[in-house]
Structure formats: C-alpha cells, structure tokens
Chains A and B, each alone.
Chain A
Amino acid sequence: MRDYRAKVNGRVYSASVEEKASNHFRVELDGQVFEIELVGKNEVLDWSVRSGERAVRAQTRALQNDIVETWLAGVPFATAVQAVGLANYPVQTDRTVERRYGGEIRALMPGRVTSILVKETDYVEVGSPLLILEAMKMQNEISSPIVGRVKSIGIREGETVKKDALLMEIG
C-alpha cells in the first residue's frame, strides 16, 4: 500500500494504491474505489479501469519528471504524481495553469496569424479578442485569459507560428 498525491488540470487528488496481485491494483481515490488491471505493455501501457458499473480502457505513458499522461476516450490527462512522505518538493503544475497566471499569451496550436486585433499599451479584459489564428482552415479568435495592458507583441500578421510560441505579453 502506498499513498500518492496527484495533480491534474489544477485539481489535486489523494490516492492510495495496493498491488493486489501481479498487474492487478486497487486504487482508492478520495473515497472512490477503482479496480485496475495492466493488460498490455507496449509503446504505451494498456489498462482496464473499473469503478462500480463503469469500465473503461486507458493508455498511459511517462512524460518528464513526475508527469504521467493518461489517454482516455481520446483525451489526454497529464497528471503529476508524487508519493506522499518521500519528498516535499512542490507538485509541478501543468502548463494551462501557468499560462493563466504568467501574463504570456502562447499559441495553443500551430497556425498562421491572420490578424492582430490589439496594439501595444492597449488595455484588455478577460475575453477581449487579441488576434485571429488560422489553423486547420478555421479562423480561431484568441481571446485574453487575463486582464492587463499589452506589453509586447512578438508576432506580425501573416506570420506562421509553432505551438506554444510566445504571441504577446500582457502585464
């Protein structure tokens, strides 16, 4: 039996894991019990996860540090997992949370900047349209997740940007 703390999408869960038999685990997650079986070890690990009436299949792979990425129903969950009582360093938060407080606007997807809707020193509110990024034939209006003045704009109209590229700084 081992206790873990897991953080995903800004939420923290407490879990205790028991290896019942080879490849069979019982996980208690904040009171909810999961019966888990490791069914395959390939380029990713394959799991069967059951809780109550519901059974799903999931795949996991280890990312850097303590991050485990679980894929379920086509959705990735990057989870920071730490054994409780071993070390006390802070659980690494995922990037979504950092962006919200960091004041940087980064590209969520690669694409082409078709138009910039603000200029430096403009004041923006949460939800103010900042720019239009074209990706996969869609015009995506990128709106501000934060309040502040536009400190710098790192891109030009017509420019192609990679995922996570710095678009603007708001301070």
Chain B
Amino acid sequence: MKMKLLIANRGEIALRIIRTCRKLGIRTVLVHSDPDRESLPVYYADERYPLGGSTPGETYLNIPKIIKAAVGTRCDAIHPGYGFLAEDASFVAACEENHLTFVGPPSEALEKLGNKLLARRTMHEAQVPIIPGSDGQLRDEDVAVEVAERIGYPVIIKAVYGGGGRGMRMARTSEEVRRFFRVTKLESASAFGRDVLYLEKQLIDPRHVEIQALADSRGKIVTLGERECSIQRRHQKLLEEAPSVALDEKLRERLCDAAKKGLAAARYVNAGTVEFLLDKSGRFYFLEVNKRLQVEHLVTELTTGIDLVEEQLKIASKEPLGMSQNDVHVNGWAINCRINAEDPKRGFSPSPGTVVRYHPATGPGIRVDSALYSGYTIPEFYDSMIAKLSSWGRNRDEAIRRMRIALDEMEIVGVPSTVALHMAIMNDDGFLQGNFDTSYLDHVLPRMNSALLEIERFAVAAGVASKMTLRSPPVQSQPSTSKSSWRSFARAKAVAQDWRAGW
C-alpha cells in the first residue's frame, strides 16, 4: 500500500492514525489549528501543515483549506478521524474532485445514511426494524408538537445531520418540545452546519448495542462483534465494553445479520458501525449508522486483534478484505473509560486548562489512547475528551479488576476529569452484575455525591498533612530530578528541531 496520507483531525485520534501509518510505512501530513501547534500528534506526524485560526470553522471543518493542504503537500488520501468532516458528504465530494482518496465510505452511502430520515427509509426497506417517528423533517415547533402528540411522549428531537451524541434532546411535554426544538436547532446549526430536525419515540430505558463491520469495495462485509455502549450521559457515551452481557449467541447473530443487510442496502464501503437500541423484551431497533472510525473502536481492536485503521486504509486502496467471517474471533473482554475534561463537582461542566502533571496508567492488558502530556494546555475550542483508558482481560471480571488499578494509577493534575466517576462505576453493583441500560448514569450520578464526599475526606487529610509539611522550609531537591517531564518534552522537541534545522 503506497500512499501519503493527510490526517484531518486532532488530539488522540490523529495520534492513533499516525501510529498505524508508522507501522505500515505510510508518510503522514497533519493539518493543525493554532492552539494545537504544541500537540503530540503534530510532533509525531512526518509533516505539519498549519491551517491558521482556532475555531473548528476556521480549521478542522474548513474544506477549502484542508483540500489545499492535501494538494499542496502531494497527498494521495485523507483520513478524517471521527467528528469534524468524517461524515460530511460535501467534503467527500471535494476529495473526489481533487483525486484524493477519502478513507471512509463513498459520498452516495454517506448521503443515504447521513440524512437520518433517508437512513430510516433505507433500513425499513432492507427489513431492519426502525423506531416510530416523523416521516419527514419538522418544519416548525407546531409540527413537532403535532407529531409528538400523535406517537406519544416521551419523544426525542434529533438533528437530521447530527451525530456523536450531539444535537438531540428528549422532551416529555409539548412545552419541552418547543423549548428543545429551539435549542437543538441552534446546536445543530453550530455543530453540523445545518439545522434540519426530526423526532422519534423515546424507548423507555433501552440498551445501546452496536455492531462493528468492515465492508470492502467488492461488497464483502464482515462483522467484528458488538460493543455495549449503554453507559451514557446526555446521549454521550462514557464507557464502552465488548462483548455485551445483554446478548446471547442467537441475538448476536440476528443483530450482525441485520447490520450486514442494512450496510449492503446502503452500498456501504469501509469501516462502519450499525447502532441498535434493545428493549427489555429483547426486541431491537435500528438507531443509526456511524460512518466512520468510532471513538470506542479500540475495544473491538482489543477483543479481535484487528487494527481497524489498517483495514480502513486497505479498503480505501481498493484492496479486498483479507479475512472472512470465520477468521474473526472475539477473545476475552475489553472495557473503555472515556476520560473527559469535565468537573464532576460542577455538574460535569467542561474544564479546559493546563495539565500540570500527567501520568498515564500502564501494565498488563492496559491501553491508553491520549494526546496528553504534562504541561499541555487543553484548548477550549474542541471536544472535552482527553483520554481513552481501556483494559483487556480473559473475562469481564479480569477486565474490571485491571481497570480499577489503571484508574487508580492514572494521574491528571491541573484539569478536573471524569476519573472518579469511572471509579464509582467500577465498584457499582449494577455495573458489576451487568444490570444496566441507558438510564444507568441517572441512577449512579446521585450516588456520585456520596462517593465525592468520601474522597473529599481523603483529600482534606492530605491537604492538612501537606500544610504541616509546607510550614517547614522546602527541601532543596537536586536540579536534575526537579525538572518536570513537560520541560523534558520541550527540550526533546527543541533538540529535534535543531537536529532537523542543522541537517
């Protein structure tokens, strides 16, 4: 596979893609915004290309700038990562016009599935069950209320072009439908560039289970098992695991079969995920297709041993899938905890800032995907997810035990994060017994306060001891050991730059 790849993304996923490229000997160009100049993926890419500006609109969502960068640096292909332009049909069209290979599905499949209304129709025709909802887009608040009254509350208002858990809100009354219609419209316009909305019935406390698939350009599709993603806050996944305790072999087979049928109907190519909602009686409904590499793809990599980015690049180069369904084996259990820069003490409000100390967890069965380092300033312009902490075990119990240790080892000082929340989940009976659904966090979050109160006593005890220590004059530490790792990193970078400049 000979190619030069432009990566149109940032943070941990840019780094993740670069790592596979380095493995395969593919040269990488990373475009970046001004605040991301000091980021790790920019450092590890073979070439850097500043886009100028800070906001997503000026940078990672700016199609003309990115195409110009790819053409100017003589790239053959573009990997969009997730979010930003990953599922933007007009971006794919722009790539095609400029003879650039888009690492993802073709624009027709994107359009068919990216418009959630069209996707529902496509799935319905392919005999994949869908949730009752509006047939077309909602013209205004009045129509929204009308449809909601017809199908019954609660309903969920969604941006037709939304995704990644954003651009949707649940409404229980006509007053809420009106209020959330306005908010979602704003959010949709800002996040996805278009403000078309629809609504569908909100199932009561379903589970969220999704099937990862790979489809090559010859129409061959294999599924790589499921991911359980029921643990969500505000429709944003927080913790994922593979496999799911909710599926038996029979149900798993039916879900995989439905996923294959749906993807085939959409003439889907590349890595894709079909999301389903599962109700208490074991019925399942199509939710949406994620037409990209997903945040949580790593749990599938841990259980199948397949490098999903490598498969994406091969499929994009028109290579046939090198595996058949019988070659795919799900081995053991994997859990992923999303570590977000959000303050659990302040209702999980985003908390950008400077990381004073970062020490990632390591050890047997542990994988951390993150672009953090000590001294890094998390910009306010982008997503709040700063690390993905995953564990693998021969069974669920071992994966959980390893995750507990990893959460304890993970140190992020200077920026509040969701580590404590994951610790609470890893010790919660509901989670341990596999007894949870999408309403799980609503039950756990109130208990979070007592967990925080317990932690607070430990924190105060350390604070008081620290006060006593600080009264005495500080011990003069050796200059060589007092250097922070941030300074070492800056030094390493400066050395690297000098080296390049000198040669």
Q: Is the CB of B416 within 8 A of A45?
A: no
Q: Is the CB of A51 within 8 A of B461?
A: yes
Using CB atoms, name the residue of chain B closest to A134: B190
Q: Is the CB of A44 within 8 A of B356?
A: yes
Using CB atoms, name the residue of chain B closest to A75: B420
**Closest Cβ of chain A: how far from B188's Cβ, in Å?**
10
Residues in chain A near residue B417, CB distance under 8 A? 74-75
**Closest Cβ of chain B: how far from A37's Cβ, in Å?**
9
Using CB atoms, name the residue of chain A closest to B484: A43
Q: Does A116 contact B (CB under 8 A)?
A: no
Q: What 1/0 mask marks residues of chain A from 69 to 81 whose CB sits below 8 Å from any chain B CB?
A: 1111111110101
**Closest Cβ of chain B: how far from A3's Cβ, in Å?**
10
Residue A68 contacts which of B343, B408, B410, B467 (CB distance < 8 angstroms)? B467
**Closest Cβ of chain A: how far from B58's Cβ, in Å?**
13
**Closest Cβ of chain B: how far from A143's Cβ, in Å?**
10
Q: What 1/0 mask marks residues of chain B from 246 to 273 whose CB sits below 8 Å from any chain A CB?
A: 0000000000000000000000000000
Q: Is the CB of A56 within 8 A of B458?
A: yes
Interface residues of B in 440-484 (CB under 8 A from A): 452, 455-470, 474-475, 477, 481-482, 484
Docked pose: A56 CA to B481 CA in angstroms: 24
Q: Does A169 contact B (CB under 8 A)?
A: no
Residue B413 contacts which of A71, A111, A114, A140 (CB distance < 8 angstroms)? A71
Given contacts A38-B469, A136-B383, contact A70 B462 (CB under 8 A): yes
Docked pose: A114 CA to B383 CA in angstroms: 17
Given contacts A8-B460, A38-B469, contact A108 B346 (CB under 8 A): yes
Docked pose: A137 CA to B190 CA in angstroms: 8
Residues in chain A near residue B457, CB distance under 8 A? 13, 29, 32, 34, 51
**Closest Cβ of chain B: how far from A30's Cβ, in Å?**
8
Given contacts A60-B466, A139-B183, contact A75 B458 (CB under 8 A): no
Using CB atoms, name the residue of chain B closest to A5: B464
Q: Does B314 contact A (CB under 8 A)?
A: no
Q: Does A165 contact B (CB under 8 A)?
A: no
**Most chain B CB neighbours (cut-off 10 Å) among A45, A66, A70:** A70
Given contacts A42-B484, A59-B411, A74-B417, contact A136 B460 (CB under 8 A): no
Q: Is the CB of B464 within 8 A of A81?
A: yes
Q: Is the CB of B183 within 8 A of A141?
A: yes
Q: Does A62 contact B (CB under 8 A)?
A: yes
Residue B349 contacts which of A69, A109, A114, A139 (CB distance < 8 angstroms)? A109
Q: Is the CB of B418 within 8 A of A74?
A: yes
Residues in chain B near residue A137, CB distance under 8 A? 56, 166, 191, 382-383
Q: Is the CB of B461 within 8 A of A34?
A: yes
Q: Is the CB of A70 within 8 A of B468?
A: no
Docked pose: A56 CA to B458 CA in angstroms: 8
Using CB atoms, name the residue of chain A closest to B420: A73
Q: What 1/0 mask marks residues of chain B from 308 to 347 whose CB sits below 8 Å from any chain A CB?
A: 0000000000000000000000000000000101011110
Docked pose: A57 CA to B452 CA in angstroms: 15
Q: What 1/0 mask marks residues of chain B from 7 to 48 whose CB sits below 8 Å from any chain A CB?
A: 000000000000000000000000000000000000000000
Docked pose: A135 CA to B352 CA in angstroms: 9
Q: Is the CB of B462 within 8 A of A58?
A: yes
Q: Is the CB of A36 within 8 A of B461?
A: yes
Q: Is the CB of A75 within 8 A of B452?
A: yes
Docked pose: A19 CA to B380 CA in angstroms: 42
Residues in chain A near residue B380, CB distance under 8 A? 109-111, 135-136
Given contacts A73-B420, A109-B352, contact A47 B452 (CB under 8 A): no
Interface residues of B in 84-136 (CB under 8 A from A): none
Q: Does B4 contact A (CB under 8 A)?
A: no
Q: Is the CB of B463 within 8 A of A25?
A: no
Given contacts A44-B357, A74-B419, contact A79 B469 (CB under 8 A): no
Q: Does A17 contact B (CB under 8 A)?
A: yes
Q: Does B423 contact A (CB under 8 A)?
A: yes
Residues in chain B near residue A15, CB distance under 8 A? 460-461, 464
Q: Does A2 contact B (CB under 8 A)?
A: yes
Q: Is the CB of A6 within 8 A of B465?
A: no
Q: Does B360 contact A (CB under 8 A)?
A: no
Q: Is the CB of A36 within 8 A of B460?
A: no
Docked pose: A6 CA to B462 CA in angstroms: 11
Docked pose: A96 CA to B416 CA in angstroms: 15
Residue B466 contacts which of A32, A47, A83, A138 (CB distance < 8 angstroms)? A47
Residue A73 contacts which of B186, B191, B455, B474 (CB distance < 8 angstroms)? B455
Using CB atoms, name the residue of chain B closest to A28: B461
**Most chain B CB neighbours (cut-off 10 Å) among A4, A13, A17, A76:** A76
Residues in chain A near residue B183, CB distance under 8 A? 132, 139, 141
Q: Is the CB of B462 within 8 A of A47?
A: yes
Residues in chain B near residue A70, CB distance under 8 A? 459-460, 462-463, 466
**Most chain A CB neighbours (cut-off 10 Å) among B349, B382, B413:** B413
Residues in chain B near residue A11, CB distance under 8 A? 456
Residues in chain B near residue A128, CB distance under 8 A? none
Residue B468 contacts which of A25, A56, A110 (CB distance < 8 angstroms)? A25
Residues in chain B near residue A83, CB distance under 8 A? 467
Q: Is the CB of A72 within 8 A of B408?
A: no
Residues in chain B near residue A2, CB distance under 8 A? 468
Residues of A in contact with B (beta carbons under 8 Å apart): 2, 4, 6, 8-9, 11, 13, 15, 17, 19, 25, 27, 29, 32, 34, 36, 38, 41-45, 47, 49, 51, 54, 56-62, 66, 68-77, 79, 81, 83, 96, 108-111, 114-115, 132, 134-141
Beyond contacts A71-B411, A79-B464, A96-B346: 7 other A-B pairs, Cβ-Cβ < 8 A, are A6-B464, A47-B462, A58-B462, A74-B339, A74-B344, A74-B420, A139-B183
Q: List 20 A-B contacts (CB under 8 A).
A: A4-B467, A8-B456, A8-B460, A11-B456, A15-B460, A15-B461, A15-B464, A36-B462, A43-B484, A49-B461, A57-B408, A59-B411, A70-B459, A72-B462, A74-B420, A75-B419, A79-B459, A132-B183, A136-B352, A140-B349
Minimum-distance CB pairs A-B, first 5:
A74-B419, A73-B420, A74-B417, A77-B459, A70-B459
